[in-house]
Amino acid sequence: MKLIFFSRTRFSRKQKNALASMLQAMVGVHRGLFHSRAGLSVRMSSTGINPKGLLANRVAVITGSTEGIGFAIARRLAQDGAHVVVSSRKQQNVDRAVATLQGEGLSVTGTVCHMGKAEDRERLVAKHHGGLDFLVCNAAVNILVGCTLKASEEVWDKILNVNVKSPALLLSQLLPHMENRGMGAVVLVSSVAAYVPWAKLGVYNISKTAILGLTRTLSVELAPKGIRVNCLVPGIIETRFTAESEIPDMCSVLLHRIGKPEDCAGIVSFLCSPDASYITGESFVVAGFSPRL
């Protein structure tokens, strides 16, 4: 593709090449989304809206999903018709979550998966030869390490391994199963700490900022495959982590209440649905009030 620049500004050859690369990437994203949306339109027009829900006959994998935000997302996607695979580090937590959701008549199975362990990720991937439509990466470690520069190398490695590297590696392993479907959606979970850091969280803040960049990069790389990548950015949500760590409100909450895990679930279901087929590379703050412009 040849790009012609009409401008009074004089660009060097190097600058022109850089601009051309950026524009070509944008065109690639647009083409990928157009292809994905066309596929959805054909499917919906030929079958109509399934009475079971917008996500009927789809399969979703959600990491860190036996409690809190992940569990609320698992419940909502299952309520909207998807078959959901929950996962967590401990078997008893997986069993409890599966029993609860199956008791509500939802299509849910589960498996143990410590995101920092390659063998656990491989076991999770092995269960999806039939195809996968949605991946929600919610698992993370939250270590109150204080000052960033006083954190040990071990702490740096653990937080970045689980919070940043592992979601990318899991997606790379699951990607062939998503490609088999012809389209798909990925939701990475960051934190409002990416925008408004809290000193006691140190490296955790940095890891959640990295997730914003990972979202943008993967959205460009995967759009030609019809796979959308977006980011959920929760604020202060009523979970075990916030209760134990006594995290203060990091942004101005105008709604006079703390967030609940269910507040994060609906938007994830939307991002997985056909209604979001032209949205990728975006970050959605669920914090009562967004700390960014």
Strands (E) in 8-93, as ranges, are 59-63, 83-88
Give residue 81's pLDDT: 97
pTM over 0.85: no
Per-residue pLDDT reduced to its tens digit, 1-59: 444 444 445 656 665 565 455 546 555 555 555 444 433 332 333 333 344 689 999 99
How big is the chain, counted in residues? 293
Positions in the chain whose pLDDT score sits under 70: 1-52, 129, 241-253, 291, 293
Q: Which of 78, 204, 239, 264 is catalytic?
A: 204
Neighbouring residues of 146: CB distance < 8 A, sequence distance ≥ 6: 199, 200, 202
**Which residue matches tokens 């997302």?**
73
- For residue 62, the SS3 value is strand
Domain-wise residue ranges, the chain: 13-286
User: How far is 57 from 278, CA to CA, in rounded Å?
Assistant: 21
278 is catalytic: no
Enumerate the β-bridge partners of residue 134.
60, 185
Residue 243's alpha-carbon distances to 73, 102, 248, 260, in angstroms, are 20, 28, 10, 12
Give residue 247's pLDDT: 58
Give residue 199's pLDDT: 84
In this structure, which CATH number among 3.30.390.10, 3.50.50.60, 3.90.550.10, 3.40.50.720 belongs to the domain 13-286?
3.40.50.720
